Structure 1
């Protein structure tokens, strides 16, 4: 490694922000098409969210994948066959470290360096300003393109609950070890996968557990017919079964496995299957059935030692854990470059390409019904080929850009999702990959 990157103009080189899973695959695929790459990572090692030593990692001690191994691994770097169906987070980190070593990616990463500003230039390039996370002077370099891979699970979205609570309140991002649960009365707020996983851990450690959910969800087991549930769903998607038939099969399967959880006090789903990110948890029904998790409605306010619920009930937990998600954040970019709304959600073609800025792309900003890594791989392949086409055939590239940038979200994303802040980037992985393949075919025929 060099002591510091060269100053000045990096010409056709590409700047990648972040060395998590998405950043690593972006480096690899850009390098394979001949690009010079400088990746800036604010931490001192690779792994991003999967490296729980990092300050911004949401991973806690008991975290496992909720997507199975074959649907999580990169297509050109399989996980070991000896690993379990749902690997532990430490195995995922090991996998990413091996991926970086195998493809020689570390030589292109500047650790302990944070991108503080990225500004487009008149000629379509970028001026990128970086600074050491340990302090020191900043420096600005010119790049041909910027690929953002800084993740979307690091800026906690904390609920605004009126009143004052005398107990302890933490966001799920600060939850790291079940020791904090032992001997306590715990309220978990949030019905997503993280909230359900933490509620299950609390059921095994705490003296009492309440689980507050705002709406009803569809709860799927991790295994169906002896196979990981996402592999069964993947088969149905590849057969191109109509959505209504898949929804009927989903409801039927859940009825035969998980059962009707409303009898324990959970609210009924207010949407159809596949209109939200699935809750995959085989242990939640077990602990509900044993009375170890008590479902309660939304929290309306705090009142001293008590938490007031939407139905007027009062409970007195010692600890409140808010598993209320994260917001996308790109503080080094002008929001207008991503056409971001007031909640910071960008309007990107294929959740990847900036519609108005051809040399700006985001990798990994997805919520699929499978693992993110394979989709991030093909996103970065598309980005690399797009940037190469701009150099080799700029007029054809401009024509493809004009056509693709006007395609509506519904042409490649889920047409109907739960109207909430956290479901806006939901995709069915098979349909999404078909759309990426269509773009790749257009670029292939143009080259």
Structure 2
């Protein structure tokens, strides 16, 4: 059924129609757009950001990929080689994503914040801060950057509290006492960034688990893919990337680690007014605490569909939502496809999602 017909089936006040609406114009949304274009489906991508690049435009200054450009590409067009030293910078990724959407003439509406997705007639209503779209299918590709997770911690700390999303450069912390909390990639990279600039205390819940030094993003994608294949064929779960470790030893992390400058303390018990305190009675002063404690999927716009279970997860079959088969979730990590939150991994999952959508729409007419 054409999206225009849906507008007459309970979607009054519609300002736009498309057979497929993609929510989010970052790397997952662009991968979806590429495959939707190839499938010949009418679609639009709605993106809350004013500029291309998705979450990559908001990372810290020294943020880099885990892999060479040739192993960090979206479907159809390889990322151009990075001419500088080391792996590509976040700025190089942003330039690539901006050129990618132009290359494939993807229909992206920017500064268009989706506030709700709801059922209406035989289709879905996508409400934004400027209007309403009628769609036969929706791909949610909003990622996790916009929903940082901050743990509850007792105490009355009076210094600065930041999350990974707030960190930009070590310069603003020069000479300060800074506590970085988190034993994953962002925690290790930001801690390494601050070494020699701030008085650093790195805190992790367990001893850091570094992946082998020769592991990069391409290898991680292969590991994640093998895990999904094992699960799908009934073989033992290999634990995937989590079985290898938590931290990719990118050059800055490797150098500071090997120099003995990344020596974490265990997690503290509380936050006093001037800084963390441990159960053994020790403590340290802190001007700022940077919580590198991860993210949650940004799915608030799906609340009207009432899809979450008691465990907080939306059940899916592949990318398709079980309770609402007109909706697909793309790019939220292994939950919605092996390595689907990565540049190299999202293309395969996007292709499968679009193939499923096309088959369903063809059956529906």
Pick one of 121, 124, 127 that aligns with 1:126: 124
Superposed CA RMSD: 3.1
Task: Confirm or deny that 1:383 pairs with 2:353.
Answer: yes
Unpaired segments of 5 or more residues in structure 1? 1-5, 53-58, 133-138, 244-270, 396-447
1:85 to partner: Cα distance: 5.8
Aligned to 2:80: 80
Task: Confirm or deny that 1:279 pairs with 2:247.
Answer: yes
Task: Confirm or deny that 1:372 pairs with 2:342.
Answer: yes
CA contact (8 A) 1:277 1:369 kept: no
SS at match of 2:109: strand
CA contact (8 A) 1:297 1:311 kept: no
SS at match of 1:94: helix
Aligned to 2:281: 312
Task: Confirm or deny that 1:214 pairs with 2:205.
Answer: yes
Aligned to 2:234: none
CA deviation profile, 1:196-224 (whole Å, cap 9, x unmatched):
00100111311x211100023420254x3
1:187 to partner: Cα distance: 0.9
Aligned to 1:19: 25
**2: CA distance, partners of 1:62 / 1:341:** 39
When residues 340 and 114 of structure 1 are mapped into structure 2, their CA distance, relative to the original with a 3 A threshold, is farther
CA contact (8 A) 2:191 2:202 kept: yes
CA contact (8 A) 2:70 2:80 kept: no
CA deviation profile, 1:124-172 (whole Å, cap 9, x unmatched):
x10121114xxxxxx3332111110111122111121111113222112
Unpaired segments of 5 or more residues in structure 2? 1-11, 231-238
Pick 1 or 2: higher relative contact order, CA cutoff 8 A, min separation 6: 2
Aligned to 1:430: none
Pick one of 144, 159, 162 that aligns with 1:152: 144
Following superposition, which runs of at least 4 residues in structure 1 exceed 6 angstroms of deviation?
A: 233-240
CA deviation profile, 1:408-447 (whole Å, cap 9, x unmatched):
xxxxxxxxxxxxxxxxxxxxxxxxxxxxxxxxxxxxxxxx
Task: State the TM-score, normalized to the length of structure 1.
Answer: 0.68
When residues 43 and 237 of structure 1 are mapped into structure 2, their CA distance, relative to the original with a 3 A threshold, is closer
When residues 157 and 237 of structure 1 are mapped into structure 2, their CA distance, relative to the original with a 3 A threshold, is closer
SS at match of 1:113: coil
Map 1:169-184; keep pairs closer than 5 Å. Answer: 169-184=161-176
Aligned to 2:42: 36
Between 69-78 and 276-285, the greater mean CA deviation after superposition: 276-285
When residues 309 and 347 of structure 1 are mapped into structure 2, their CA distance, relative to the original with a 3 A threshold, is farther
